[in-house]
Structure 1
Amino acid sequence: MVSTLVSRLLGFLRIAVIGAVFGASGQADVLNLVFNIPNNLRKLLAEGALSSAFLPVLTRTHLEDPSGEGSRRIVRQLLGLQLVLLIPLLLLATIFAQPVVDTILAFPEPERQLLAADLFRFLIHYILLVSLAAVLMGTLNSHQSFLVPALAPLLFSFAVIGSVATFHSRWGVFSMVWGVLLGGAGQLLLQVYPVKKRGYSLRPLFSLRDPRFLQILKHWIPVVSTASVFAVDQQVSLFFASGLADGSGSAMTNALVFWQLPFGIFGASITTVLFPLMSRQVAQGDISGAGRTVFGGLRALALLLIPAGAGLALLGGPLIAVALQRGAFSASATRLSARVLAGYSLGLFSVGAFTFLQRFFYALGEYRTPLLVAGITMATDIVLCLILKETVLAVTGLAIANSIAFTLGMVLLLMALRSRIDFSPLATLAVAIVKALLASSVAAGAVLAVRWVLAFHGLHEWWRAGSSLVSLGLLCAEALPALVVLVGTYRILGISVPSLLRRDSSAVMGA
């Protein structure tokens, strides 16, 4: 979580540098929306989908073959699979960049479509680097090693920040291209030594005869299908945003950076740590223990993500202003990004719980249910996007549609679990959600009280002045009392925040 926090803070700095240099519309819109294409493919072909398919099998192989020979063979085969799949894909994407971009983005100006295709030809190659890095990340996670994979994204942010800050005057938006590619290479290289230290070879193996590897492929196809549903869904949202008012695409990108902070620190970290544990419990036949881990993880997610979502919705404007509003990034861009962030924040817990429940189904070896629910979620999101984007909500409607759709998906996955695990801990989850909502309301009251005092002294909407030390101090004046009130309310309600952050599942259950 600490590594993720630092990574997200660097992500803020990265977005702040891009916003200050390129603004929040025009070329920045093109840059942000084009980068989201390989970023979505990363989730599809690399980290999430790949690790979900091979981590349970790799964990089971560790138990069945203590010599490690089977595990080492699987990793080499996965590296070979990535090369066989991605190199032809990247060649085709480079050749047909313009038709691809014209299909998935709809900028009103032809020159932006041309710029988008030129950027795409370079940025798409990030996929190969991050996909190979994902194999190494999953390998380390299967050995309960989480620190180095969590540190790897830091190199990406450093590379992008340095490249844009140093070369933007010479290369313009293409300065980010070299930062992205160098950062992807850094993510890969950082994990090479700890993986090789565990006895793994990084020489690709092109073979389909290993039954365990065939099992991974059998799992990977439905997992990729599920992940592709969401990749298509997000790309459809970006397509809608590219056709809305100028700055809508950047508003979505900027909002998601802030949204990803608590999601990454709490949601992704809890899922990353508990997924190997659930896979191990299922492999050992301990379904009841895996069920307890599921509800313990959901309870922790509720107690952490519900207050975080409320905080982002209430403090979005000040947060974005302090972090990004400088140079070409205006107060109107801050206001638009804050509205979009509020829409996404409504579904912060739902998305975290949805992702976590998906991983449990994968640990069980069940892939049809997540795929079906993913399809329903995507269809709901697209229908709501079509409706809400035509209202006064505009791009904010796209964020709200996403939150509603994932809340439905979370409920459907929970319902599908009724026949698989003991549901008696559901009552404790419901109590945790009520406590989280109550504590969030009290903390929100503290923010509004401080805000009233500031307005009384002539500091109404003080964030419009943009980023400065004074603005940072005023943001702390609003946020810190609310945090103290939140922790105090949790203590009164019998919840220990430090125990929520412990790594073992028993602490999560007993928090």
Structure 2
Amino acid sequence: MRGLEQLINSASNQRSARSAFVIMGCTLISRILGFVRTATIGALFGAGGTADVINLIFNIPNNLRKLLAEGALSTAFVPELSREIVLDTSGLKARRLGKTIIGFQIIIIAPVLLGALLFPEQVLYIFERFSDPYKKELSVVLLRWMMPYLLFVSLSAIMMAVHNSHNRFLIPALTPIAFSICVILFLLFGQGRWGTVSIGAGVLAGGLAQILVQYPSFRRMGYGLIPSFDFNDDSLKRVLRKWLPMLLTSSLFVINSQIAMLLASTLPDGNTSSLTYAIVFFQLPFGIFSASIATVLYPKMSRCAALNDNNGLIDCLSFGYRNLWALLVPSAMILVLLGEPIVAIAFQRRAFTPENSIATANVLAAYSVGMPFIGLFGISQRALYALGAIKRSFFCALLTVFIDIALSLVFVFWMDGDSIALAWANSIAFTIGSILQYILIRRISKFRIAGEVLSAFGKILIGNTAGVLVILGFYQLLGRSWWLSGVSWTGVGLLALIALVSSAIIVLFYGWMKIETVSLVLNSIRQDNDGEK
């Protein structure tokens, strides 16, 4: 019986891995385009005052998206929609819930949007402390252009949640690609005519494109975008009971992010931009690996919770912990050790100087130290949400954010820190938070970092130690100044060589020590080849 259960879990993990690899592939393309998008902004506007405004203003609807749409509401929506899909095979209740969620979303987004459009100066007072009149005036203009994006991306987030709940991951994974393409095209062809406003128009077009990409598949599943304002629905009430505490939790992270940007806006020019640009590089591996695995496992954990399958949920968590660290530890290591050449070769051109590259790389290194722990924090939080332990997750998040803000204030005002200090505060806080989340999930589900998980963690650290030695060896041979000229074929070649050799060494060690991630990739490749035959 135990052998059968292991076989079922292995097959389930393989399916989860294949879905995660599909999302990773799409996310890789999306992140590369995000790089191109951010590099275009850096080339056109540098890392000075104008870039500070662009990055700070876009952060406002982006954070509100996490708070009101893609974060709290979607997170509360997925378990209930998964429950309706499992319990009502006709799909009528699931489709009705989708309509009411859209109606509810419009009601909460509309006043926020109108407030930003009609009273931008008052809204901006919450988010920035620019002293330059030009930066304040530009902030008002860009806020009015970018805020409608919030409505588009909110509808897109609901469509993504529906797709994911039906185990359809490809289409929603393509939506960020459409967004980046729109922004890049508007910047390249509109900046000469419209100036800085071109990015606002690109953000609006990108938000609409995210809806259009998903709509045909969304309709084929029987769902629609016509809202329902009949909120007398038991499923919606269950969503809202989860959403309110999740909203509080999400608001903590949004406030935390905005406080970091607010503190950066009080520092000399360039600090806001270096913080924002570093996050772009950070999100490349983190978005590909952590977000992909969490996206696949969250609906699965929600179904396990709905069926009271605690063993299945523990298996999901174990799978997530092992594979997240196998992917995030080497990602963090490469960003810490190769941050300066990566930033310089990707961004250093025209208005983006070597000093900007060094500043961004230093912030990136401080953020990257916490990357593996932020990944564990996220997957544990999703498991707590699936189990309905939302209040406990909230208090853990509250303490994490409190530590982050307290450290940020101490570092900036008492220790004369800059954006690097803000990044260190974030890494320290989320490392502590990940430990607290693990303690919570251990008490509720009996999940343990022991046995297979602990063994995997040890092997992962050994494999990455070998990668560190390889990179340090290359630095010893080549020196540390070969990237200072920015983008060049020589720089690209050397960076690719170092990254590929160090990655190959890590993969070889993973294979030798039988790290699960390698076998999952190989099995997926074999199945794809068998399918082609």
TM-score (norm 1): 0.95
Given that 1:273 and 1:503 are in contact with CA atoms closer than 8 Å, whether structure 2 keeps it comes out as no
- Give the AA of the match of 1:441: T
Q: Which of 151, 155, 163 matches 2:178? A: 155
Kindly provide the amino acid, as one letter, of the partner of residue 102 in structure 1.
Y
For structure 1, the 5+ residue unaligned runs are 505-511
User: Counterpart of 2:430?
Assistant: 406
Preserved contact between residue 25 and residue 247 of structure 1 (Cα < 8 Å): yes
**Distance across 2 between alignment mates of 1:392 and 1:432:** 40
| Number of the residue aligned with 1:467 | 487
Give me the whole-angstrom Cα distance separating, in 2, the residues matched to 1:453 and 1:350: 32
Aligned to 1:76, which of 85, 88, 99? 99
Conserved? CA contact 2:348–2:354, under 8 Å: yes
Contact 1:24 1:250 in 2 (8 A): yes
Quick one: structure 1 residues 222 and 194, their matched pair in 2 at CA, closer, same or farther if it must change by over 3 Å? same
Any idea what the Cα deviations from partners look like across 1:224-272, whole Å, max 9, x if unmatched? 1100000000000000111112101110111111100111111000000
Query: Taking structure 1 as reference, are residues 64 and 423 closer, same or farther at Cα in structure 2, changes over 3 Å only?
Result: closer
- Counterpart amino acid of residue 197 in structure 1: R
* Number of corresponding residues: 500
Contact 2:115/2:123 (8 A) holds in 1: no
Structure 1 residue 393 displacement after superposition: 4.5
SS in 2 for 1:135: helix
Larger deviation, residues 92-101 vs 370-379: 92-101
Instruction: Choose which of 472, 490, 498 in structure 2 pairs with 1:448.
Output: 472
Q: Secondary structure at the match of 2:195?
A: helix
Once the two structures are overlaid, the 10-residue window that deviates more, 272-281 or 198-207, is: 198-207
- Could you say which residue in structure 2 is the equivalent of 1:507? none
Aligned to 2:19: none
Map of 1:330-349 to 2, 5 A cutoff? 330-349=353-372
Distance (whole Å) between structure 1 residues aligned to residue 222 and residue 440 of structure 2:
40
Residue in structure 2 matched with residue 254 of structure 1 by the alignment: 277
Runs of 4+ in 1 over 4 A off after TM superposition: 500-504
Change (3 A) 1:502 1:156: farther
Q: Deviations over 1:378-420 (max 9, x none)?
A: 1000011012224364210100100111111111111112222
1:500–1:253 CA distance, 2 compared to 1 (3 A): farther
**Distance (Å, rounded) in 2 between the aligned partners of 1:46 and 1:269:** 18
Which residue, out of 132, 135, 138, partners 1:109?
132
Q: In the alignment, what sits opposite 1:365?
A: 388
The one-character-per-residue Cα deviations of 1:319-374 (angstroms, maximum 9, x if unpaired) are 11111101100000000000000010011111111111111111111210111111
Whether contact under 8 Å (1:98, 1:114) holds in the other structure is no
Using the TM superposition, give the Cα deviation of residue 108 of structure 1 relative to its aligned residue in structure 2, in angstroms.
Answer: 2.9
Specify every segment of 5 or more residues in structure 2 that has no aligned partner in the other structure, as ranges: 1-23, 525-533
Contact 1:77-1:206 at 8 Å conserved across structures: yes
Deviations 1:124-161 (A, max 9, x none): 11110000001110001000000000001101100110
* Cα shift at 1:491: 1.9
Of residues 159, 165, 168 in structure 1, which corresponds to 2:188?
Answer: 165
Aligned partner letter, 2:278: A
Q: 1:25 to 1:503 in 2, by over 3 A?
A: farther
Match of 1:86 among 105, 109, 115: 109
1:417 aligns to what SS in structure 2? Answer: helix
Conservation of the 8 A alpha-carbon contact between 2:442 and 2:448? no
Question: 295, 311, 316: which is aligned to 1:288?
Answer: 311
**What is the match of residue 438 of structure 1?**
462
Identity value in percent: 41
Give the TM-score normalised by structure 2.
0.91
Shift, 1:48, TM fit: 2.2
Q: Secondary structure at the match of 1:464?
A: coil
Which amino acid letter does the alignment assign opposite residue 227 of structure 2? P
Equivalent residue number for residue 530 of structure 2: none
Residue 489 of structure 1, aligned match among 509, 514, 528: 509
Distance 2:447 2:110 in 1: 46
Q: Is the 8 A contact 2:42 2:351 kept in 1?
A: yes
Q: CA RMSD in A?
A: 1.5
